[in-house]
């Protein structure tokens, strides 16, 4: 459950870490159904183009996908262990192979960095801070590691050596300084589905989820935590429409 003490609205006197100079709110939308990955990418790219041309507002789009493996621009063919298990989609986002599927919250982030900061490194750090802030609302300590994009949690079991598992992936692309793709947070996916790939090209660490950590968190609760943390990092949000119904 959300910790009420950690999910309070941000102080309006404190400027968001990666906020807009004009304070304009970002539209926040939830897809009403599971969206096929290619369909979502087409809608996301169209929205990003409209933002770049000044025809649409910034948007965070929350959704789930049917099971699929996606390959970023750095994906290595050998990291696709079981190509017959699920569909495979070659994506233009950064990063390597990852899995999307039911129980995982995908958040596509279409922000205009021209109105924020034209700094890709700072933007990725802001995305990491966003996820870490959301996890903190469930008393989960998310961490970042040099050379490993994403958010990690340390696991300590009596009698066993400590280990680190990935709980959230980050992969973004920018076109005309407008971002698309975004983050995926493991709430309650089938973790066995990650076995068909080497997630993000990293063999020495595993993957986990909020439910795997013993927390009976729903997607609705995860969404509330993400929205509260987003406001602290990127600024206010307002209800928007899903690009696909």
Task: Please check whether residue 100 is in contact with residue 67, taking contact to mean a CB–CB distance below 8 angstroms.
Answer: yes
Task: Please report which residue ranges of the chain form alpha helices under DSSP H.
Answer: 37-52, 120-136, 219-234
> CA-CA distance, 26 to 107, in Å (whole number)?
13
- Angle, CA of 72, 123 and 183, to the nearest 5°: 45
Q: Which of 132, 172, 200, 226 is catalytic?
A: 200
Q: E strands along 81-122, which residues? A: 88-90, 97-100, 104-110
Active site residue 200: yes
Q: How far is CA 231 from CA 26, 40, 49, in A?
A: 9, 24, 24
How many whole angstroms separate alpha carbon 213 and alpha carbon 146?
23
d(CA 100, CA 182): 12
b/e map of 163-177 (b: 16 or more CB within 10 Å)? ebbbbbbbbbbbeeb
d(CA 237, CA 41): 22
Catalytic residues: 200
């Amino acid at each position: 459950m959300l910790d009420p003490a950690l999910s309070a609205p941000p102080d309006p006197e404190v400027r968001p870490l990666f906020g807009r100079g004009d304070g304009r709110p970002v539209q926040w939308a939830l897809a009403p159904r599971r969206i096929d990955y290619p369909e979502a990418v087409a809608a996301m790219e169209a929205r990003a183009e409209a933002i770049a041309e000044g025809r649409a507002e910034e948007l965070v789009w929350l959704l789930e996908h049917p099971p699929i493996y996606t390959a970023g621009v750095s994906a290595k063919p050998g990291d696709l262990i079981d190509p017959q298990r699920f569909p495979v989609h070659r994506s233009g986002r950064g990063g390597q192979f990852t899995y999307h599927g039911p129980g995982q919250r995908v958040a596509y982030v279409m922000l205009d960095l021209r109105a924020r900061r034209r700094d890709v490194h700072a933007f990725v750090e802001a995305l990491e801070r966003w996820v870490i802030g959301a996890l903190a609302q469930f008393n989960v300590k998310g961490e970042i590691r040099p050379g490993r994009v994403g958010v990690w949690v340390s696991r300590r079991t009596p009698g066993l050596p400590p280990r680190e598992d990935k709980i959230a992936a980050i992969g973004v692309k920018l076109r005309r300084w407008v971002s698309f793709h975004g983050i995926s947070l493991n709430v309650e996916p089938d973790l066995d589905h990650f076995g068909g790939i080497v997630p993000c090209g990293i063999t020495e660490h595993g993957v986990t989820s909020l439910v795997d950590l013993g927390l009976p968190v729903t997607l609705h609760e995860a969404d509330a935590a993400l929205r509260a943390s987003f406001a602290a990092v990127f600024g206010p949000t307002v209800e928007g429409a899903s690009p696909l119904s």
